[in-house]
Amino acid sequence: MKKALLFLAGAVLCVAAATGCATLFGKQSHQVEMASTPSGAEVFVDGERMGTTPLQLSLKANKSYNVEFRVPGKKPIMRIINNRVAVKWVVLDVLGGVLPVAIDAITGNWYEFDQNKINVEFSMEEPAQ
């Protein structure tokens, strides 16, 4: 019985050591809320129509995104959602050694967005050009 428990504990430690903290405990996709005044603006992410505001999207955090809001008769509004390495995952990975750092860097699981809500306001006076 002791040997089985030791083997199981060793196996768990090996798996934990071979995986980065962000890969174990983080998430690959993050929720981003999109809103506009007036509501009903079309939302395009990297050129692909995603729906109309208000909208909640699940986006992979391993890249940045260009977001465009469109309302008929108004000039489109552009926003950028930038990704960045979350310091908390780097610190935990470094404490775990080189392998967790490499795994989280390769998988991209240690990224987060610089914002999780975008709210744009279309001017009532400004027509599209």
Does pTM top 0.85 for this prediction?
A: no
pLDDT digits 0-9 by tens, 59-104: 988 889 999 999 999 999 999 999 877 665 556 655 666 666 666 6
Report if residue 117 sits inside a domain: yes
- Find out whether 80 and 100 touch, Cβ atoms under 8 Å: no
CATH code for position 80: 2.60.40
Q: What pLDDT is attached to residue 63?
A: 87
Give the whole-number percent of the chain exceeding pLDDT 70: 57
- Find out whether 27 and 60 touch, Cβ atoms under 8 Å: no
Domain of 33, in residue numbers: 16-121
- Find out whether 59 and 84 touch, Cβ atoms under 8 Å: no
Report if residue 3 sits inside a domain: no
Report if residue 2 sits inside a domain: no
Query: Does pLDDT of 34 surpass 70?
Result: yes
- Type of residue at 6: L
Domain count, the chain: 1
pLDDT digits 0-9 by tens, 37-53: 999 999 999 999 999 99
Long-range contacts of 68-72 (CB under 8 A, 24+ apart): 68/43, 68/44, 69/34, 69/36, 69/41, 69/42, 69/43, 69/44, 69/120, 69/122, 70/41, 70/42, 70/44, 71/36, 71/38, 71/40, 71/41, 71/42, 71/122
- Find out whether 57 and 67 touch, Cβ atoms under 8 Å: no
State how far the alpha carbon of 11 is from the alpha carbons of 7, 23, 31, 69, 77, in Å. Answer: 6, 18, 34, 50, 52
Query: Does pLDDT of 10 surpass 60?
Result: no
Report if residue 1 sits inside a domain: no
Report if residue 5 sits inside a domain: no
